[in-house]
Structure 1
Amino acid sequence: MKSDVEGVGTLEIIGAGFGRTGTLSMKAALERLGFGPCYHAIEFMTHPDHPAKWESAFAGKPDWESVFEGYRSTVDFPGAAFWRELADAYPQAKVILTTRDPESWYASVQATILTTMESRDGAPANDALDWFRKLSEKISDKQTAIEWFNEHNEAVRAYIPADRLLDFEVNQG
């Protein structure tokens, strides 16, 4: 992967945990530990050109080199939505699964992500935003969302070998 950032060549850390599981703190920690810059939903939302970079991934034809140009790690969405594809594309990368209590996770999602998506209802359509809209529909029902959260975490644990996975619950500090 080409990069304008000195010493940055490929993803070294892939965050597989859902948003609202301490991913912003994990982003800060990874950057302090030398695994930055770290891609997070903030990048997607604050860089107007980034949603277009994700279009191919959301359409099933990812160009990871373009998406992660200049980044050494990724946590949160949209990267976490592609954890399996990223783990396969970057087999040397370690995977971090950030988790938390499912009930408190859902309460946090309801207070943040769902509210944000409601405010974007009039935004122009694109594959990335459509994916986020579908996500908000999927997580609007508490029981369905918690089941999905738990199934996701178990799928990551089952797919990623133990020597490559850090399973980190946010209350561990």
Structure 2
Amino acid sequence: MVEVIGAGFGRTGTMSLHSGLETLGYAPCHHMKEVLGNLGSTTVWADALRGDREALRTAVAGYRATLDFPSCLLWREMMELFPDAKVLLSVRDPESWYHSAAATIFNPVMEEVAARLAASDGAVTTDMMTAMAEHGFGDHGKDETIAWFVQHNKDVMATVPEDKLLVYQVSDGWEPLCEFLGAAVPQEPFPRVNDSADFAENVDRFLSDGSIGW
């Protein structure tokens, strides 16, 4: 059962948070990398994004936490399915977020990645991406895309009860996250993974030999 719903967009430190949550015992934690590692799941995610609640339940079955796309687009639906779950909204300066997203998940090179994935899985990945676009996912120009990001965060903060919400930046480290979850602070440093350089290296690896390292 999902206990932590990640409502923050990708490129807000979600890979670092993925490692952090799993270190705190919230494993497995769903992240877009789970989808890339199991392309068959894109069909159920496409259905979930189009309003099928049972498809959403199936998509997150067995996970204790969720982060990143596509699940963050369905944070309201996730709250309905898991009313006792806490909501973790990872945030970032909007300008910084846009530049990171434009260099990574919205980079034109990702079109080649998507094309190769579609060729390998019968285009079901393309259907999921189309369903995500129906929720606003994509680079629609700097101003519009930043407005989408900001409005999403405002909607989460205006909707989720204060006692169930943590608005969090990965630079905050372990303490606020552990206090929110009632967990002991680990001795190890908070993980820092998948910055823009890491992302570019993963894309290059995929395009050169087909391996997925996200």
C-alpha contact (below 8 Å) 2:106/2:138 kept by paired residues: no
Any runs of at least 4 consecutive aligned residues in structure 1 with deviations exceeding 3 A, and if so which?
Answer: 132-138
For residue 95 of structure 1, what is the aligned residue in structure 2?
Answer: 87
**Residue type matched to 1:59 in 2?**
R
Q: In 1, are the aligned partners of 2:49 and 2:74 still within 8 Å (CA)? A: no
**Which amino acid in structure 2 is aligned with residue 12 of structure 1?**
E
RMSD in angstroms over aligned alpha carbons?
1.9
CA contact (8 A) 2:5 2:87 kept: yes
Which secondary structure does the structure 2 equivalent of 1:171 belong to? helix
Partners of 1:12 and 1:72 within 8 A in 2: yes
More helix by share: 2
Shift in Å at residue 170 of structure 1? 2.7
- Residue 60 of structure 1: how far off its partner (Å): 1.4
1:133, distance to aligned residue in structure 2 (A): 5.0
Is 1:78 aligned with 2:83? no
What is the match of residue 104 of structure 2? Answer: 112
Aligned partner of 1:118: which letter? E
* 1:27 partnered with 2:18: yes
Compute the TM-score of the two structures, normalised by the length of structure 2.
Answer: 0.71
Contact 2:46 2:131 in 1 (8 A): no
What CA deviation, in whole Å up to 9, does each residue of 1:8-49 have, x standing for no partner? xx1000000000001011111110101110000000111122
User: Matched residues in 1 for 2:92 and 2:44: separation?
Assistant: 30
User: Could you say what secondary structure the match of 2:89 adopts?
Assistant: strand
When residues 113 and 159 of structure 1 are mapped into structure 2, their CA distance, relative to the original with a 3 A threshold, is: same
Deviation at 1:143, TM superposition (A): 0.4
2:13 matched to 1:13?
A: no
Moved more, 50-59 or 82-91: 50-59
> What do residues 75-97 of structure 1 show as CA deviations (whole Å, max 9, x unaligned)?
00111010111012111000000
Contact 1:100–1:171 (Cα < 8 Å) also in 2: no
Letter in 2 for 1:11: V
Aligned residue identity for 1:65: R
Instruction: Tell me the SS of whatever aligns to 1:95.
Output: strand
Distance in 2 (alpha carbons) for counterparts of 1:167 and 1:136: 22
Cα distance in 2 between the residues matched to 1:56 and 1:92: 24
Tell me the CA shift for residue 113 of structure 1.
0.5
Measure, in 2, the Cα distance between the counterparts of 1:49 and 1:24.
21
For 2:88 and 2:15, how far apart are their aligned partners in 1?
Answer: 13
How far is 1:134 from its partner? 5.5
- Distance in 1 between residues matched to 2:137 and 2:24, nearest whole Å: 36
Other structure's SS at 2:19 match: helix
Q: How many residues align?
A: 164
Higher Cα Rg: structure 1 or 2? 2
Cα distance in 2 for residues equivalent to 1:135 and 1:108: 20
Instruction: Tell me the distance in 2 between the aligned counterparts of 1:47 and 1:129.
Output: 15
Kept in 2, the 8 Å contact 1:117–1:133? The answer is no
The two structures have a TM-score, normalised by structure 1, of 0.86
- Residue number in structure 1 paired with 2:156: 156
Contact 1:114/1:140 (8 A) holds in 2? no
Alignment gaps of 5+ in structure 1: 1-9
Tell me the CA shift for residue 140 of structure 1: 3.5
